[in-house]
Chains A and B, each alone.
Chain A
């Protein structure tokens, strides 16, 4: 399967679930910002969760099917449109060769993931297909997608993907009745971000901790795949101590020298020297990935045990989805 990029959009990169094995050499995790949407897009075409997808930022992009293609999409940055018809998300979509598919704006969020049956084929760099733009490696030639780029899929399909394809293959657009319910995995109140308090919490005065847990923070313009700067009540350290650089990870919330909050995201550095007030619960990190400059959020505290339970429950739910799709086809 093959597509060509007609319009690349603001920032479109190849991502998978990240590059974890080289953190000690300061190679960032990278990978899909909204890992949930990335995985659901993959699941909908029968792929492995770690197969490479295209991460689109906002809309204003389009591509052409150079061969018949079996794709799916998920996320909140855009809707797929074909022949002026809105395409359903989290569902396998079969398009004949020559189809032109556009992305139009979805006001809810920022990032959308496009999966293809078999996964997008790019070389593995340090055991991952994720793009890390700062150092220019991984993904499609280490860069963001450009006009006229041609992307191909891995030609070896697993049993589920092959079966989905053989049931949908036609001369025109086809898709099945079923879809994955992404809504059922997401909390109702999306501006409420659950956090676990971090190691340096007692470096901050009580008023600061209170404002962190009750105040409203908004996403600053200086926000990207490395991290989100937040504007809101500044936090005050009550100790003079400085933190010696130590490992940080996507979801870590740092407090800068001026007292501002930064949520570290997929492309963040592997170590940092700012004190940490909390980390975002892994299950809520996909919500953060969809935040746009100007959006407001509030934090609510949960315990480390709760965060772990939520994570394990989420993984269980995701494995049930995979199982349900396989059972449908095998």
Chain B
């Protein structure tokens, strides 16, 4: 049971700490959970719709939302308080008092095609053996899951996702691979994730997606964002190669 600090629509002050001269972090809870994700996503959306002068950007994480701002603009604003910390906190508390229904929180559902096994997923067998499953059972279980993006971190576009079937949990490789190709779908412990770019890594690689998880030419370069829902769809090599090509 998550010890949630508060819900939206009350006047209980938020728990806020300074991260730097240009940022504060709001702590919403202590454990990873879906209700908390809704709360943080909902608060974030409200804040971006009702922003304050000087707001630069926000960074949602498992239990926190961090707000970055320009101190000079904040100081010139008419928000109540002495310094930036007080002024920004005053605004955030005002946002928290707005009553919001959970159903109003927007969540996208995205289907990500994955070509499992073979050259794209050398470690399917490792995952299968570790969990005493067949390769096709691994793929079935992985595609049957309904995943939640908690946050983007580690490298540009990397989504921390929850919701994987625990029967697929497999430890990381003892020796990390020097190069994991972009689009690789992996498992580490009870997490699953997709490498947005070629990096070294220790995850068990079970497949690859043709979707560009991070693309600087898109308006939203990261394919996923915190609060998104994801399902994986198994595709064969032909479908993988045809992805993104207009017929």
Contact = CB atoms under 8 A, between A and B. Distances in A.
Interface stretch (B6-14, B21-29, B91-99): B21-29
B85 interface: yes
B189 interface: no
Contact of B63 (A23, A137, A246): A246
Interface string A248-260: 1101100000000
15 contacts: A20-B56, A22-B221, A23-B57, A24-B226, A27-B156, A27-B222, A125-B216, A196-B18, A198-B19, A245-B160, A249-B22, A252-B19, A271-B151, A282-B20, A312-B72
Interface in A195-212: 196, 198-199
A23 B19 contact: no
Contact of A252 (B20, B214, B220, B221): B20
A86 interface: no
A126 interface: yes
Interface stretch (A43-51, A113-121, A168-176, A301-309): A301-309
Contacts of B158: 26
B53 interface: no
Interface residues of A, number: 39
A245 B58 CA distance: 15
Given A246-B25, A249-B19, A270 B63 contact: no
Given A24-B152, A305-B83, A270 B21 contact: no
Contact of A282 (B21, B66, B225): B21
Given A247-B64, A269-B154, A271-B154, A311 B21 contact: yes
Interface in A253-298: 269-271, 279, 281-282
A156 interface: no
Which residue of A21, A244, A279 has the most chain B CB atoms within 10 A of its CB atom? A244
B237 interface: no
Q: Which 3 A-B pairs have the closest CB atoms?
A: A247-B66, A271-B153, A25-B222
A120 B55 CA distance: 28
B183 interface: no
Contacts of A26: 152-158, 222
Interface of B: 17-23, 25, 31-32, 56-64, 66, 68, 71-72, 75, 82-85, 151-158, 160, 197, 214, 216, 220-222, 225-226
A299 B219 CA distance: 41
A25 B152 contact: yes
A246 B158 CA distance: 14
Contacts of B71: 308, 311-312, 315
A21 B222 CA distance: 13
A126 B32 CA distance: 30
Contacts of B221: 22, 25, 27, 126
B60 to A, nearest CB: 6
Interface of A: 20-28, 125-126, 134-135, 137, 196, 198-199, 244-249, 251-252, 269-271, 279, 281-282, 304-305, 307-309, 311-312, 315
B217 to A, nearest CB: 9
Contact of B157 (A25, A246, A307, A311): A25
A247 B56 contact: no
Contacts of B62: 244-246
B21 A25 contact: no
Nearest to B86: A305
A270 B222 CA distance: 14
Contacts of B57: 20-24
B64 A24 contact: no
Contacts of A134: 155
B60 A126 contact: no
Contacts of B56: 20-21
A244 B20 contact: no
Contacts of A20: 56-57, 68
A25 B31 CA distance: 22
Question: Which of B21, B22, B82, B220 has the largest count of A CB atoms less than 10 A from its CB?
Answer: B21
A247 B216 contact: no
A102 B72 CA distance: 38
Contacts of B83: 305, 308-309
Contacts of B20: 249, 251-252, 279, 282
B15 to A, nearest CB: 10
A110 B19 CA distance: 27
A304 B21 CA distance: 8
Contact of B61 (A135, A271, A282, A304): A271
B22 A269 contact: no
Given A247-B23, A311-B71, A269 B32 contact: no
Nearest to B160: A245
A34 B22 CA distance: 17
Contact of A304 (B72, B85, B154): B85
A307 B209 CA distance: 46
Nearest to A304: B18
Contact of B151 (A27, A245, A251, A282): A245
A1 B64 CA distance: 47
B22 to A, nearest CB: 7
Given A244-B31, A311-B71, 14 more contacts: A20-B57, A24-B58, A24-B59, A24-B225, A25-B157, A25-B220, A25-B225, A28-B156, A199-B19, A246-B63, A246-B66, A248-B19, A249-B23, A308-B84
